[in-house]
Amino acid sequence: MIRPLGAPGFRRANTKKIPTYGKHRGDKWLGTLDYETGEVVCEHAEHDTAVEFLDLLKTIVARYAGENIVMVLDNAAIHHAILIQPFLEEHRNHLTLMFLSPDSP
């Protein structure tokens, strides 16, 4: 006989709890995955801004110098910021940004 989870006589799992102190804050990271090699490049982002996204783009362009780069991104505002447009224009021959549709899961 199969009993549903939570039924009388069904032992609950011993869940580990990790205590946290103070406010529950998230941590922000910007990163890329090279689907051919599996290499992950990521940088800690203090505020998740266009400045930090531009820094990541510079890192990626330097790491893959001389190669064509295609990045698939969501439609976050930092990915469309005016600040990054001059950099994208300068590297338009080998850096392409492709955006997922806004309703993509």
Average pLDDT score over residue span 56-76: 93
Q: At 39, list the tokens.
A: 């290499």
Domain 28-99, CATH number (from 3.90.870.10, 3.30.420.10, 3.40.605.10, 3.40.50.720): 3.30.420.10
pLDDT tens digits for range 88-98: 999 999 999 99
Q: At 56, list the tokens.
A: 């990541």
The residue assigned the tokens 């110098």 is: 65
What is the rounded radius of gyration, in angstroms, for the C-alpha atoms of the chain? 21
Listed by start position, the domains of the chain span 28-99
pLDDT tens digits for range 1-10: 454 445 555 5
pTM: 0.70
Give the amino acid at 80: H
Q: At 13, list the tokens.
A: 């799992």
| Strand blocks (E) in the chain | 28-33, 40-45, 69-73, 95-99
